[in-house]
Amino acid sequence: MEAFRTAGFARLGSDGPHTLVIHAEGDWARSIEAGAHVFFTKLMRQATARGFTTRVVSAGGATSQLLLGQEHVHIMVGGAPGYGPNRLHAAPGHLWGFWYLDEVGSGAHSSIRFARFSADEVDGEKAEYFFNGVTGYMLRENVSKRPQPARGATLPDPAAAVVFCQLIERTSDRLHHLTTEQMVRVAATTAGSRRVYVKPHPDTPRALRRGLEDMAAGYRNVVVSDASVHDLAGASDVVVTQNSSAGFEALMQKKCVVTCGKSDFWHATLTLKTEDDLRDALLHGRETMAAFPFEKYLYWHLDRMCLEPEKPDFAARAWARIRDKAML
């Protein structure tokens, strides 16, 4: 039988039509119940104030499956994307402190991928204030979604490119257009004698990392580095990735980011599907993206499309999305 947090949660069988069910995958259920995430703490507090009972269950379990078939409001944490009646998906965003609460999914699966970004419709003053505040803190404090080595690595400036690697090529849900091998090879051969950095994903298995290092060793100008993503992006003319959050973080430094896969921040990148397109982007990308309104884009994506739990208006904005799904 699944364990439930008793204080503030309805017991099985007592749910009325207004119940908020959080279906949490893996360790999420335990950490949510322990109050480890301001996002969920504030969300559940708001639900209680609105007369909802609230429950956290293990996603995929018998209770989760039972409740999904009932007319509750469902928040999915982890797991596969997918639209469903009265269903939203919650997940951390590309920058620490920002969250998705989306009716389709998170990351490349979020509805932001299908949204229209229009710089003319974004308040320039608000965007600049937001951009300076967020990027100043994140870069100064070396904040990233994943822990990074201390900043200050000695890196040639500028390098031609950095390739931020991922572990998405073996998944059944194909999101990439080009492979890691293609990205590294094209970057290395296009850069000529200039340096190209390759940063492995933090979760890369040892054997896979050795293969990446062997591949890099085949090019005189390629260096595998574990330096901070912020240092590597800062030292490089172009940032190449499939759809990594490290690529999104590079937008804080107004870098030309090349995405070789499906992403929800493609509006601010050069998205391409062929090696020839990648080669052109490496040669001409900086010039192409020089006038892009990075301030407006980060403000639009993070502040308007995502949610920031630390903001005073978080609970009201989150509840507006829940209200729409619950048709209250």
Residue 155: the pLDDT is 85
Q: Is 201 left (phi over 0), alpha (psi -120 to 50) or beta?
A: beta
pTM of the model: 0.92
Burial class (CB in 10 A: 0-12, 13-18, 19+), 276: exposed
User: 67-104, pLDDT tens digit by residue?
Assistant: 999 989 999 999 889 998 899 999 999 999 999 999 99
Asked whether residue 119 carries a pLDDT value surpassing 90, the answer given is yes
- Whole-angstrom Cα distance, residue 198 to residue 162? 6
For residue 136, the 8-state DSSP code is H
User: 185-228, pLDDT tens digit by residue?
Assistant: 999 999 999 999 999 999 999 999 999 999 999 999 999 999 99
User: How confident is residue 48, by pLDDT bands cut at 50, 70 and 90?
Assistant: very high
For the segment 132-146, the average pLDDT, to the nearest whole number, is: 97
> Tokens 């959080």 correspond to what residue?
22
Residue 1: the pLDDT is 33
Burial class (CB in 10 A: 0-12, 13-18, 19+), 27: exposed
Residue predicted with more confidence, 22 or 80: 22
